[in-house]
Amino acid sequence: MKKVILLLLAGSLLIFNGCKKTGPQGPAGPAGQNGVDGNANVNGSNPFTVYAADWTWSAANHYYSVSFNVPAITPSIVDKGIVEVFISYATNVWTNLPYTVGITQTAFDFTDNTLTIYVLNSDNSTPANPGTQIFRTVIISASQKQANPKTNWKNYNEAMAAINTVNAPAVSQ
């Protein structure tokens, strides 16, 4: 029993001895974007516009679509994170996708580095060309999702309040 106590005491001394300060504190790290602390785990895009000519019609599938290269959608995000897409139907009012008006639905899908937005009719009829639309994305890592379990990520304002910053990822066709 004495050997066990001595081993525990020796182990404790090694652990606490390894925690002492050995040098001066380093310099402060850089401030976030524009002097505001950032969050590397969340990306909120600036609004981006899809014009009528950008939509591609798929006769075989009866939908319009447009795809974007989004490097912030990594394999880790695809596996365990969240990607939300919001559409603006009024100034500064963001509605999450999928969004349905009558029989026309605007939805999205994502894979590694790619975001695709679709517009289709629920009765499989031909939808009108969606015309010019404005979108935003929010990309959340698993750790950020876990750190904010009560956040409704489908609500743009609530998502932005939870992350307290907007880091604009690249969104390009």
**What average pLDDT does the segment 8-16 reach?**
36
Helices (H), 54-123: 75-80
Burial class (CB in 10 A: 0-12, 13-18, 19+), 81: buried
Handedness of CA 5, 11, 17, 19 (dihedral sign): negative
pLDDT digits (tens, 9 = 90+) for 85-134: 999 987 778 899 999 999 999 999 999 999 999 999 999 999 999 999 99
pLDDT digits (tens, 9 = 90+) for 132-151: 999 999 888 888 777 777 88
In terms of Cα–Cα distance, which of 131, 130, 123, 120 is closest to 58? 120
pLDDT at res. 45: 67
Q: Please count the other Cβ atoms lying within 10 Å of the Cβ belonging to residue 78.
A: 14
The residue with greater pLDDT, 30 or 123, is 123
In terms of Cα–Cα distance, which of 144, 118, 126 is closest to 40? 144
Its pTM stands at 0.66
